[in-house]
């Protein structure tokens, strides 16, 4: 292996190893796993039992708030720390709420100097009497805004917990798959333009790597779905469209192997490969946005938004994409060289 010629192969392997090590070993930041109870009524004393994650409640003074919205918050009258992951926050729930609703959804915010802020959205539901006049006087407590990052960690996300690490594998595989399929499609166009046998070999090789990445993406997605949705396969529209996309590419290889006339088979396969790539766009990016789905990306929302990554995750996320693309290109490189040797031996 010549380093000057094959440096990109080594870079791909290094980036994948880097993403594996850092993606699995960097700890998650502090967060709130659950609280009890999850309901209260106006005018009562609420004793909220809190279970944290990677927290340090017993190492620094903890403050707690129930937040109604950006303007209104209620600070706990007392916080009793049990151990590093458990505490009890005492809140004196006012009779009057700022809004005349019967049900109020409150988020819990904890803060100490070691963990910084921990937030549990929609932590508790408070019931009040709509006949009671609205009042905001008791909801004027200010949440501490300063947040000191004292540890290097990935963000804590409710529901996802440790499965957030799959972001570095499931999402990368799908993005890398799209890049690999794009390269395959471009080689098919090149073949149709100049009938280059090498271009056909490259189109076939990159398509096979794309299918491999797609199947790995589906597998990692099923594992993620089991932990987040409760089932490996729930016939979600995103899962179904991904499966159909893979079946379309499986048909590409069936078409290649079924044609006895090799020249005709190459032309048909090149046209079909372009069609298969164009079908990926509506299957993976349009249809799932048009219907309800458990998967991010439904109802017009982005499948992967700017809020899904912080700077710590970006340090692993983007290098991993480059690494998987380079590694897939290496696999395809080995395969098309094998196909070229096979073709030359048949022509000899």
Q: Give tens-digit pLDDT for 178-215.
A: 999 999 999 999 999 998 889 999 999 999 999 999 99
Same-domain check for residues 189 and 258: yes
Asked whether residue 328 falls in the same domain as residue 235, the answer is yes
Looking at the 3D structure of the chain, how many domains does it have?
2
| Residues 86 and 204 occupy one common structural domain | no
Q: Does residue 151 belong to any structural domain of this protein? A: no
Residues 220 and 293 in one domain: yes
Instruction: Assess whether 233 and 329 both reside in one domain.
Output: yes
Same domain? For 112 and 175 the reply is no
The CA-CA-CA angle for residues 87, 91, 95, to 5°, reads 160
Among 85, 108, 139, residue at a domain's last position = 139
> Does the reported pTM lie above 0.85?
no
If asked whether residues 80 and 175 sit together in one domain, one would say: no
For residues 182 and 326, state if they share a domain: yes
Decide: helix, strand or coil at residue 50: strand
How many whole angstroms separate alpha carbon 108 and alpha carbon 33? 11
Domain that includes residue 189, residue range: 162-347
**Residue 1 falls within a domain, yes or no?**
no
d(CA 299, CA 275): 26
Q: At what angle do helices 262-281 and 170-194 cross, to 10 degrees?
A: 140
| In the chain, alpha helices (H) | 3-25, 170-194, 197-228, 237-258, 262-281, 311-347
pLDDT tens for 72-86 read: 888 999 999 999 999
What is the chain's alpha carbon radius of gyration, rounded to the nearest angstrom? 27
Contact 1, 26 (CB under 8 A): no
**Residue 60 and residue 185 in one domain:** no
User: Do 207 and 335 belong together in one domain?
Assistant: yes
CATH of residue 116's domain is 2.60.40.10
**Burial class of residue 54, CB neighbours in 10 A (0-12, 13-18, 19+):** middle
Q: Is the pLDDT of residue 32 over 80?
A: yes
Q: 262: helix, coil or strand?
A: helix
Whether residue 152 is predicted with pLDDT greater than 80 in this model: the reply is no
Q: What is the mean pLDDT of residues 331-343?
A: 88
Question: 103-117, 157-171, 296-310 — which one is most confidently predicted on average?
Answer: 103-117
Residue-level pLDDT at 304: 54
């Amino acid at each position: 292996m010549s380093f000057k010629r094959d440096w990109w192969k080594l870079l791909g392997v290094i980036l994948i190893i880097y993403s594996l090590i850092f993606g699995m070993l960097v700890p998650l930041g502090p967060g709130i796993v659950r609280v009890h109870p999850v309901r209260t009524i106006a005018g009562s004393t609420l004793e909220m039992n809190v279970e944290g994650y990677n927290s340090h409640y017993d190492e620094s003074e903890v403050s707690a708030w129930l937040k109604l919205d950006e303007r209104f918050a209620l600070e706990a009258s007392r916080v009793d720390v049990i151990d590093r992951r458990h505490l009890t926050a005492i809140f004196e729930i006012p009779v009057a709420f700022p809004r005349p609703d019967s049900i109020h959804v409150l988020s819990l915010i904890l803060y100490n100097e070691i963990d910084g802020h921990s937030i549990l959205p929609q932590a508790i539901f408070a019931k009040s009497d709509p006949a009671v006049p609205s009042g905001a006087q008791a909801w004027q407590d200010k949440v501490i805004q300063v947040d000191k990052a004292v540890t290097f960690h990935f963000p804590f996300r409710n529901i996802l917990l440790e499965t957030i690490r799959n972001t570095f594998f499931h999402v990368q595989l799908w993005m890398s798959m799209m890049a690999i399929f794009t390269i395959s499609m471009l080689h098919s166009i090149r073949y149709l333009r100049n009938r280059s046998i090498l271009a056909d070999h490259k189109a076939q090789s990159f398509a096979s790597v794309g299918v491999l990445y797609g199947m790995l993406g589906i597998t990692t997605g099923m594992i993620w779905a089991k932990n987040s949705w409760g089932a490996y396969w729930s016939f979600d529209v995103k899962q179904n469209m991904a499966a159909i996309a893979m079946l379309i590419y499986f048909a590409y290889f069936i078409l290649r192997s079924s044609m006895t006339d090799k020249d005709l088979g190459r032309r048909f396969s090149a046209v079909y490969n372009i069609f298969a790539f164009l079908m990926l766009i509506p299957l993976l990016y349009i249809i799932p946005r048009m219907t309800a789905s458990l998967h991010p990306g439904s109802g017009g929302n982005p499948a992967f938004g700017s809020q899904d990554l912080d700077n710590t995750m970006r340090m692993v996320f983007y290098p991993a994409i480059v690494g998987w693309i380079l590694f897939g290109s290496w696999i395809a490189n080995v395969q098309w060289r094998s196909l070229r040797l096979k073709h030359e031996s048949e022509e000899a």
